[in-house]
Homo-oligomer: A and B are copies of this chain.
């Protein structure tokens, strides 16, 4: 049985393990600092498909295929899949699962979806009624530009505060066995301090990240120094600075020495014209699966708090005058020993 540590905060008795994981990405992602972590790279953005949406489905399928192989598991061995993406009606996930045949629980919390998938997958395992579960999330630069901004052919320019949506996916197989463990989870509250500019996602999400981090530290009686890394995904440069400032001014906490952000890890923002960093749920999913889980496996990292952050706007809500609600879900990951 899990233990209630606070409102929406759970400690898992079974501490489910990551049995296998994989990240896949596009050309720009390979050219970045984490280019070496991808199980597969797709140089051509269509991935052999005729539309960007179906290309994103292929990203999910590729990441699942590699993760299953590494976990020595067939799709038939998975009892439940938790998946999400940014496309309207989460269609990359639904179409990817059409071929995998795993019972699907679709989730949505924008770029916090991979954190939510891990948290809900761990809770499902904790219930005792599922053998293995899988989690996957994706994003695609071209699909996101088309849906949220302009088709690429328009040649729109991104303002300097914008983040670049990653063409990437990450997948993980969870169950009983050897691997990094999920020891605690926390679900975030929707937070909105009034940012209305859809190119200021980092600023919109930083207060949500702080709210969840603050609650997690309180509920678990932890301090930032207890973690090798507090990893947000994805606040980018501006949002990361704001989170660190919120921690300093609201609670006197200096998190700069342990705080990293998936959006800043994935790209060399200056060299790669990636704005203030990466975004898109595929960014944090790929950084987790490609970089963080392996470092927990090797013991290079021992304890990581992953805070997935999502901006819960729709493509029309900013045009209707609404500010941007945001959420952050947290997963505490520990090395297996």
Residue ranges of A at the interface with B (Cβ–Cβ < 8 Å)? 1-5, 7-12, 50-51, 53-54, 79-80, 84, 86-91, 94-95, 97-98, 101-110, 116, 119-120, 123-124, 126-131, 186-190, 192, 312-317, 320, 322, 325, 327, 329
Contact = CB atoms under 8 A, between A and B. Distances in A.
Contact of A8 (B79, B120, B192): B79
Given A89-B86, A89-B312, A187 B107 contact: no
A125 B162 CA distance: 39
**How many subunits of this chain does the assembly comprise?**
2
A79 B127 contact: no
B104 A107 contact: no
A101 to B, nearest CB: 6
Contacts of A50: 320
A12 B5 CA distance: 22
A97 B110 CA distance: 15
B89 A314 contact: yes
Contacts of A119: 105
Contact of A101 (B12, B101, B131, B189): B189
B188 A104 contact: yes
B128 A88 contact: no
Given A104-B188, A107-B106, A128 B4 contact: yes
Nearest to A130: B4
Given A89-B314, A312-B91, A109 B116 contact: no
Nearest to A327: B104
Contacts of A316: 51, 53, 88
A314 B127 contact: no
A189 B89 contact: no
A127 B2 contact: yes
30 contacts: A1-B1, A3-B129, A4-B128, A7-B79, A8-B80, A10-B127, A10-B129, A50-B320, A51-B320, A53-B314, A54-B320, A86-B89, A87-B314, A88-B314, A88-B315, A89-B108, A89-B312, A89-B315, A94-B190, A94-B325, A94-B327, A104-B187, A104-B189, A105-B187, A106-B108, A106-B109, A106-B116, A123-B124, A123-B127, A126-B129
B312 A94 contact: yes
Nearest to A110: B89
A53 B320 CA distance: 10
Nearest to A212: B103
A210 B77 CA distance: 22
Contacts of A108: 84, 89-90, 106-108
Contacts of A127: 1-2, 10, 12, 123, 126-127
Most-contacted residue by chain B among A90, A127, A322 (CB, 10 A): A127
A218 B187 CA distance: 34
Contacts of A317: 53, 91, 95
A329 B89 CA distance: 17
Contacts of A101: 189-190
